[in-house]
Amino acid sequence: MIFTALVIVLFLLIYWYSTRTFNYWKVRGIQYVKPVPFFGTSFKTLTQQESPAMEGARIYKDFPNEKVVGAFVGTQPELIIRDPEIMKRILVTDFNNFYARGFIPHKTSIEPLLRNLFFAEGDIWRLIRQRFTPAFSSGKLKAMFPLIVKKAKNLQLLTADIINRDYYDARELMARYTTDFIGECGFGINMETLSQENSQFRALGKRIFYRSYRDTFTAAVKLIFPELCKKLHFLSPELEKTMRYLFNAVLSERNYKPSGRNDFIDLMLELKEKGNMVGESIEKKNKDGSPETVSLEWSDSLMMAQMFVFFGAGFETSSTASSYTLHQLAFNPECQENVQDEIDQVLEKYGGEITYEAIKEMTYLEMCFYEAMRMFPSVAFLTRKCTAKNYTFPEINLTIDEDVVIIIPIKAIHMDENYFREPAKFDPERFSFGAKEDIKNFVYLPFGEGPRACVGARLGQMQSMAGVAAILQKYSVESAECSVQVPLPDPAGTVAEGIVGGLPLKFKIRDR
């Protein structure tokens, strides 16, 4: 009897623990998705049946009349935002109450590789961001453009080798191009991903965005039991080991000093020589309300984390955007013809050479790029975390607590017919001069918005457009027998969207 009673009590305690927060949205009068014990509303995500972006889009569509919708990741309350004005408040107006990215569970130590510009929270993020912003100025971008041209020419040579195939995965093709560029631009390394299909750096890039069953299980346990799994890492040990080896190899080759290459590694080494980063805190206040002055050591561990995100985000987002642009142009040949006519006309002014100025003049190509990013944004959702003790949204008179996670489902918003007429149609004219000004604020967010918007957005766009221009200057793309006009998102996707089966296309020499 005593044993039975203990089992019952233990069961009730476990059940209470796994459901203790599930009245959070009900008592606040907010419509919400009904949760299940332990998993909350993220059972499919935590069991790799759908990606976080797919989950956000599903909830967005299921509550068409709500401005916000309640949900839970494990037992942690999260809020899905459907209203552009509330998005603006979170991303810009009241940013100081939502500066945290929100990927790291409450009271959980952040692992070394995630102490980077994308994942870091609070003062670490702010100090790094302030130092990195100048590295992506227009002047710096123009100075590195010859390197983009070099890799774009190599891309043309690679495309010549695949024109006789029945199909080739455009996403893989563009990933090899962007990986090669990021390798040389960022680290001064010829990664040879364009010349070697099975390059070790391409394999590393794939592993960063591949969600194995180990990764899925670890993430689920960490999110469901954050207090008990503080030291459990999201990233696999093999990934950390590989990045540490790459980091040490690059820095030792330079004797841990700037080399004069003016690449990303040089930037970090120059920052290290300047000593600790010092600036105003976003987290701490003096007694008079002014921000405290905080300091951060520019350690090897911190540098390695920035190298990790620069490599991963640098190639993945651009390859997705550029390959999906090619994919849509293959299914919309009249748009492709317009792009090619523009490429011919512009490049004629520059002696047939792709230059920084030439890409800036390719306005129709830019329109196609923006439209492709609308239909399939590289990062399909944004997350933020409430950093205020209590915060009230005046639009809906809703007060939430500190650490509530905010989800902004970008892809779902981009495909909402309330904001974009015939959203499933590829229509570059949405972004023509005059028409793009009519797009409602905060409903087109491919690069995010506000202080945490993508710092490398312009670099990503320029390398993407240069890659597409290089291919369409000499070749055309068509759908293959196995091509799918509306590709399926990969349920195993993480921060960046994956695509089931890739983007197979047929490449052929242009008919002049």
What residue numbers does the annotated binding site cover? Answer: 454
What's the per-residue H, E or C state across 388-408?
CCEEEECCCCEEEECCCEEEE
| Contact in structure between 448 and 92 (CB atoms under 8 Å) | no
Q: What residues are designated binding site for heme?
A: 454
| Contact in structure between 468 and 325 (CB atoms under 8 Å) | yes
Q: How far is CA 231 from the centre of its chain?
A: 25
Q: Is 409 exposed, middle or buried (0-12, 13-18, 19+ CB in 10 A)?
A: buried
DSSP 381: -
Q: Which residues contact 330 (CB under 8 A, 6 or more apart)?
A: 336, 477, 478, 479, 483, 505, 506
Q: Which tokens sit at 71?
A: 């949900």
Q: Which tokens sit at 280?
A: 């105003």
SS3 179: helix
Counting Cα atoms < 13 Å in the Cβ hemisphere of 484 gives 9
Q: State how far the alpha carbon of 152 is from the alpha carbons of 96, 155, 462, in Å.
A: 40, 5, 11
| Contact in structure between 310 and 367 (CB atoms under 8 Å) | no
Q: How far is CA 60 from the centre of its chain?
A: 20
Q: Which residues contact 329 (CB under 8 A, 6 or more apart)?
A: 335, 336, 339, 368, 472, 477
Residue bearing tokens 């196609």: 368
Q: Is 64 exposed, middle or buried (0-12, 13-18, 19+ CB in 10 A)?
A: exposed
